């Protein structure tokens, strides 16, 4: 069970400060909550992945692009 510590505790395998969240076995977590050393944390909400929309084959909306020559009228390619 995931609990959030209200006090600092340490053991042979962990050192926890107030505010730390840690997974304890259910029986040990229940003892910590009952003693007032921790509060139970609700399981985090599942993240739902959504597919990205592929717009590569869709038509553009709005005014069509001009298909004119992109070189400037003076012939120097726009260098100036």
Q: What is the pLDDT of residue 78?
A: 56
- Beta bridge partner(s), residue 16: 9
Domain boundaries, the chain: 2-40
Q: Per-residue pLDDT tens for 17-62?
A: 999 999 999 999 999 999 999 999 987 678 888 877 777 777 777 7
Q: Exposed/middle/buried for 12, CB within 10 Å: 0-12, 13-18, 19+? A: exposed
User: Nearest-5° angle of CA 42, CA 44, CA 48?
Assistant: 150
Residue 75 pLDDT level (bands cut at 50, 70, 90): low
Q: Tokens in use for 61?
A: 């909306």
DSSP summary character for residue 57: T
Instruction: Give the CA angle between residues 77, 78, 80 to the nearest 5°.
Output: 120
pLDDT in tens, 7-25: 999 989 889 999 999 999 9
């Amino acid at each position: 069970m995931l609990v959030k510590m209200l006090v600092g505790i340490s053991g042979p395998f962990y050192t926890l400060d107030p505010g730390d969240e840690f997974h304890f076995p259910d029986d040990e977590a229940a003892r910590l909550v009952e003693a007032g050393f921790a509060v139970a944390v609700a399981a985090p909400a599942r993240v739902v992945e959504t597919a990205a929309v592929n717009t590569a084959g869709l038509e553009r909306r709005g005014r069509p692009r001009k298909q004119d020559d992109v070189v400037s009228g003076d012939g120097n390619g726009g260098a100036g």
